[in-house]
Structure 1
């Protein structure tokens, strides 16, 4: 056990109340963690089942969610206690398990500890392959240390004999894309091919995105042709084109619709992201009813609205002074735990008050205060004061109303 592991484990136990693990299944714990935004409750849920995870993927998913809840509330010491306590688990000798800890430090924006954990692998008897190397590179990118990624890519393989794989090259290319240097990202493709590494579709689309954003259309089309030759064109790649058409490629609905038709002819079914771009294009061109029809028809196309869907629709409805419509869409987002961001919700609340819908505004705030991270509570309290609103956390929220249509 590492020197600080016992103290870390004791700290974690102090954070979490005792829970009978038999009373909650792993599946139920994952579901609760997705909708639980209180960091202490998230810790309690994770603690109740953390020893029962047999799958590294399941363990990573649960730990990631818990760390995100703590990170949003800047509970850094609690994050350290939680992750360090995991190092006393016998599974730490498994590379996938330890890689989860490295990734978690990246999510928490604590790269020094991620790197320290990687260097500790010999202590735990954990083998090093591209799996843990990729976790370290991912932590570096998640911490926005994009300029550090090339150094790691060069030094770690030399120090530990790790061989980069297609994912490693993809993360390196992503780091160059994040700093807006597509030329170096394209060089990564050549280096990978020179080393016999097959590039993934994800890497291609990441570079395609930055080429479009930089206005390098000819290079983007050249890369597209290469993607077609290598069989790497997919729905995500088409969505990158849709994004460009919506944001900077003219923004005309007929062009966006034309590309969606092209997708279908190529036997790629448009997804929620595809239709989000179409809705955005309609809204930007003042075609509100057409955008609403796309939103209303999503489920009929086997697509579920995501967080971006709700944010886009609520925002543009508010811009068009349709605050009642925005409130209806907000309620739909709340039912599936995909409430739009603070700024969008603030516009909606102010609009509801402006239209004399004070009760609805109070109900909205009552709901979002339970879902937003604790570091946003002061911002919501300020909104309430400025609009002379009152939210009683003990009262029913909008989801419990049988009929609260404005």
Structure 2
């Protein structure tokens, strides 16, 4: 109790005294002469959170930025901070920080409290999420299906599927809440994630009874689950149900099927599915090709991956950074350094640089194939772009064959 009071007093001090403004400026903006807008604070906090590992300092960064669940950037910062604190098992600090945030008068609405419910789930602190939901009435906040859905999503984030099922069965009756499409979709996703895909049929039946029309997301979760469990007969049943409910198989549905096949190391079947949709005039997108390229790379089918990469670019789809990084890494592993360096240069020209491990594979590979000057050229660019790793790259450069 005393610790909670101290926490609240500290929060008031931080937010209402000149000391807090100096504290915020010193953490987020060392150049105290330059004023920071709310957006500037959010961006600075996100930048600092990427590399900060000290749990107490992570919380200080969040406090200094005066995060609010209303801002998209701030919601990203909250999630990043909670993920890092969870990895550090800093659960007491998470509780203190979120309770402090909840206590702010401006955050006393169902929308904001629902966000804190989700954050507790992301932290793996499901009891706190449930307690927050149950305390809403005491806080003068009306519960609705929105906060129920947040609690179910919290269970999903915490991977506590048993509690998820209990809450779904008990809470709508207990609190007089009628489930909606998002409620059912979250439950279907939970059953599929937990390897209990066959349970989705009971949810689909309930949806039909309650006149809630399933959508592409509903069936997409079902397809992912049945593919994961290799229940291909059920995949066919779901595709048939989509037709019955008038839900078209758009590129989003095909992408789910292609990704699922690639995860099962059945990338050639996924490529056949792509060829089929092309013949029917359905236009693939960058996501389609990225799933296929990753699948072919994982199976060591690098010629197929290169062909798909070219087809992707020729069709007008733009590869994203992860697609470039995947290609460079696996081409290096396959010792195709010429193709790897060409794709890497294209990626770097767009400002996307693969991680240190991949770049070292490339540099070492170029050096091993008598392309030392090209390796040095890349090292020069890396030293210029990432000064913090300059010493490591200098050491690697000195070790290259003369």
How high is the TM-score relative to the length of structure 2? 0.74
Post-superposition Cα deviations, 1:262-303, rounded to whole Å, max 9, x if no partner, equal: 435666432222102332454467653452354356566554
Post-superposition Cα deviations, 1:173-203, rounded to whole Å, max 9, x if no partner, equal: 1121122111112221111221222223222
Instruction: State the match for 1:251 in structure 2.
Output: 267
Post-superposition Cα deviations, 1:322-376, rounded to whole Å, max 9, x if no partner, equal: 3575577668389767856xxxx657646754755797999999999x9xxxxxx
Q: Secondary structure at the match of 2:267?
A: coil
Q: 2:144 aligns with which of 125, 129, 136?
A: 129
Post-superposition Cα deviations, 1:63-86, rounded to whole Å, max 9, x if no partner, equal: 223323433444434433332221
Instruction: State the match for 2:309 in structure 1.
Output: 295
Instruction: State the match for 2:398 in structure 1.
Output: none
Kept in 2: contact 1:91–1:97 (CA 8 A): no
Aligned-pair CA distance for 1:238: 0.3
Post-superposition Cα deviations, 1:211-266, rounded to whole Å, max 9, x if no partner, equal: 122222122112112223432523221012213443548532xx544432443566
Q: Does 1:38 align with 2:51?
A: yes
Kept in 2: contact 1:106–1:139 (CA 8 A): yes
Instruction: State the match for 2:167 in structure 1.
Output: 152
Measure, in 2, the Cα distance between the counterparts of 1:35 and 1:367: 21
Query: Cα RMSD between the aligned structures?
Result: 4.2
Instruction: State the match for 2:397 in structure 1.
Output: none
Q: Does 1:6 align with 2:41?
A: no
Kept in 1: contact 2:82–2:94 (CA 8 A): yes
Q: Which runs of 5+ in 1 are unaligned?
A: 371-390, 399-406
Query: Structure 1 residues 33, 133: closer, same or farther in 2, change over 3 A?
Result: same
Instruction: State the match for 1:380 in structure 2.
Output: none
Query: Structure 1 residues 49, 249: closer, same or farther in 2, change over 3 A?
Result: closer
Instruction: State the match for 2:218 in structure 1.
Output: 203
Query: Structure 1 residues 351, 172: closer, same or farther in 2, change over 3 A?
Result: same
Measure, in 1, the Cα distance between the counterparts of 2:377 and 2:10: 45
Query: Structure 1 residues 117, 3: closer, same or farther in 2, change over 3 A?
Result: farther
Query: Structure 1 residues 144, 42: closer, same or farther in 2, change over 3 A?
Result: same
Q: Does 1:168 align with 2:183?
A: yes
Higher alpha-carbon deviation: 54-63 or 120-129 = 54-63
Higher alpha-carbon deviation: 202-211 or 3-12 = 3-12
Aligned-pair CA distance for 1:102: 1.1
Instruction: State the match for 1:237 in structure 2.
Output: 253
Instruction: State the match for 2:333 in structure 1.
Output: 319
Q: Secondary structure at the match of 2:27?
A: coil
Query: Structure 1 residues 129, 37: closer, same or farther in 2, change over 3 A?
Result: same
Higher alpha-carbon deviation: 56-65 or 351-360 = 351-360
Kindly report which structure 2 residues correspond to 1:261-272, keeping only aligned pairs within 5 A, or say none.
261-264=275-278, 268-272=282-286
Measure, in 1, the Cα distance between the counterparts of 2:260 and 2:168: 31
Measure, in 1, the Cα distance between the counterparts of 2:316 and 2:90: 39
Aligned-pair CA distance for 1:62: 3.4
